[in-house]
Amino acid sequence: MANTGMTRDPYRAKRMRVYFRFSMIGVGMVLIFALGALILGVGRNKSIDYSQSTFVQYETPEDSAPVVVFETTEGTFKAVLYDKEAPEYCEFFTDLVNKGYFDNTYVCTLLRSGGVTGGFIAGSKTTDGTAAEDTVTDMVNVEISPNLLPTKGALGSLTKEGGTFSKPKAGSVFTVLSDVVDVEEMHKSVTEDVNGASKVMSLFEKYGGVPNFMQMYTLFAQVYDGWDALDKIFASKMVDENTPDDKEDRNLQPDHEIKFTKVWMSTYGQQKQNGFNIPLKQGSVKIVETTSSEASSDTDSSN
């Protein structure tokens, strides 16, 4: 079912600033609090024990693993889908891709606060994030997996908060995450090794990301190829690039049209010509033991 243009959907451009002031928080005390709170179980979210997690997005996929290819006006990037970790959303997303829904959609919002880029929102039928007549407004349940983290290049569905008697829902618009991690501040946020905190912190230190998306989004995919195109989008200027972050009507749209010209499904076996590459965060070091799966990922990353 489609909505008309003046929708109150959460990805409407004018609401982005308010929505992401909480959820993207890439600087300051909220980021410090977020990682500790989510791992230790502070606040309304239940804690997740990451100590036994198998972080599949850093492992080289099987050849049969589903891959989505994003051809954009800034270049092409590819991402592995994790249909075992987010089965309902991956089925929903794959169905939209196969129907050509994301062809000629736009990057509608750049997530930037204090000069730090947390990522971008894409899959919008309009350049400003408002719904068009053919916008899919169907929603599916939010799925949280302990095996996926919001590190750089992770894809997550943009969610609508549930009401008193309903749960949050995930929709057709999605976010591709960049890196807001301040390593020094991150280590101040968690002083106890509870629920795998050290393991999680080491991965954010190694790859970068947006820690406070850990229990807010359905994470469902990981970019592994086409980082030049992705970084080009991350570095794009906003319409109100020089406007203060706290200005109510700040326009977060890119200052030029960024379009997904074609989005299509494939497999890793057909899309592994450049290997499986998740670049390290600049200046990062590995501070946990390397598993065999991580070792294979690191080997591919060096190719």
Architecture per CATH, domain 13-301, reads as: Beta Barrel (2.40)
Q: Is the dihedral of CA 286, 288, 293, 295 positive or negative?
A: positive
Q: What are phi and psi of 173, to 5 degrees?
A: -80, 140
Among 88, 232, 230, residue whose Cα is nearest residue 157 = 88
- Rounded Cα distance between 148 and 226, Å, is 20
Per-residue pLDDT of the chain (303 residues; tens, 9 = 90+): 433 333 434 344 444 443 344 334 333 333 434 555 555 454 445 678 898 999 999 999 999 999 999 999 999 999 999 999 999 999 999 999 999 999 999 999 998 877 788 899 999 999 988 888 888 888 888 898 999 999 999 999 876 665 444 466 788 899 999 998 888 877 777 677 788 888 998 999 999 998 877 666 899 999 999 999 999 999 999 888 888 877 878 888 999 999 999 999 999 999 999 999 999 987 555 433 334 444 444 545 444
Q: In sequence order, which residues have a C-beta less than 8 Å from that of residue 95 and are 6 or more positions away? A: none
Q: What is the pTM of this model?
A: 0.81
